Structure formats: C-alpha cells, structure tokens
C-alpha cells in the first residue's frame, strides 16, 4: 500500500510541474492537503517565534524535524515559502480559514494538528504563543477541545 504522504508529495510536485489545472481532482486534493498541513505547521511555528530573524529557516528546521521522514525537505521548503507569502498578503486569520476549509472533513486535519504540535514541541517546550496558535488551529480545523487535547498528548508522548 502506498503511503498517503508519498501520494501527496507526488501530487504536489506534479502541481508545480504542470499546474493545478492539469491535475486530476484526486491529485488536486492530495496536493492541497499536503500544502495545508505545511501551512498549519507554519502558522503554529510563527506563533512561537515572534521577532525571529529568519522565519523560513526556523520553520523549515522545526518542520523537517517533526515531519522530515514523511516529506522531502525541498517540498517542505517550497510549501513554507508559499505560505509565508500568503501570510504577508492575507494575514493569519485568512490563512487559518484556508487551512480549515481545505482540510474540513478529512482525517488529514488530525495529521495537520499533530504535525503542528510536533513543530511546537520540537524545542522541548510549548510556549504560551504556540499553545494559543494550536488552539486557533484546532478551531479552524473543527476539532473539539477533547480531540485537540488527545492529539496533543499523543504527540507529546511520542516526542518524549
């Protein structure tokens, strides 16, 4: 069985090569899910790094540590760059809404929250800003408080 992460990555790469209009509906969905998971991680990462000089570098390192075995670093970097541009253009609230809209109804919303929690915990500490960012993400993803807490605890235990 092929990993959904590999399918998402292949679709995302194809989207970059041939354009969204030339993808099948399944490929568009897979590429959108991967992009939204990366966006979710960036939004939480940004909440915890106010004032940092290089947001792309810090977010990429954290995301690579949290999800690097799932997706190639070059894909993570390109995805983060796209989301940083969207944040500059549209702001956090609009980007959260977009992530929530793409992932609504998908099990991938759990993955997005888990990857974002992993990014927040990669330094061994959950800051108040990161906790608030995870709360905003949970709301955007339509997760209940119980679901978010359960997902967070699983990630926290896994990261040790």
pLDDT at 139: 97
pTM of the full predicted structure? 0.89
pLDDT at 151: 96
Give the whole-angstrom CA distance, residue 65 versus residue 55: 15
Residues in the chain: 160
pLDDT at 145: 95
Instruction: Write down the residue that tokens 């359960």 correspond to.
Output: 150
List helix spans (H) across 19-107: 25-47, 55-67, 73-90, 92-103
Give the whole-angstrom CA distance, residue 15 versus residue 41: 21
Give the whole-angstrom CA distance, residue 85 versus residue 53: 16
pLDDT at 89: 94
Residue 46 has, within 13 A of its CA and on its CB side, a CA count of: 21
Beta carbons within 8 Å of 38's beta carbon, 6+ residues apart: 63, 71, 76, 79, 80, 83
Mean pLDDT (10-residue bins), the chain, 160 residues: 85 90 93 94 78 61 77 88 92 94 90 92 87 95 96 88
pLDDT at 153: 94
């Amino acid at each position: 069985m092929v990993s959904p992460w590999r399918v998402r990555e292949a679709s995302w790469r194809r989207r970059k090569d041939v354009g969204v209009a030339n993808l099948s509906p399944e490929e568009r969905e897979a590429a959108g899910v991967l992009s939204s998971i990366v966006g979710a991680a960036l939004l939480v990462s940004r909440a915890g790094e106010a004032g940092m000089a290089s947001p792309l570098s810090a977010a990429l390192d954290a995301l690579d540590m949290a999800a690097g075995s799932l997706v190639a670093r070059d894909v993570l970097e390109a995805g983060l760059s796209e989301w940083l541009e969207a944040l500059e253009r549209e702001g956090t609230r609009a980007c959260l809404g977009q992530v929530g809209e793409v992932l609504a109804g998908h099990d991938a919303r759990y993955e997005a929250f888990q990857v974002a929690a992993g990014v927040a915990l990669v330094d061994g500490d959950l800051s108040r800003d990161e906790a608030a960012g995870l709360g905003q993400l949970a709301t955007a993803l339509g997760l209940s408080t119980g679901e978010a807490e359960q997902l967070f605890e699983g990630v926290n235990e896994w990261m040790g």
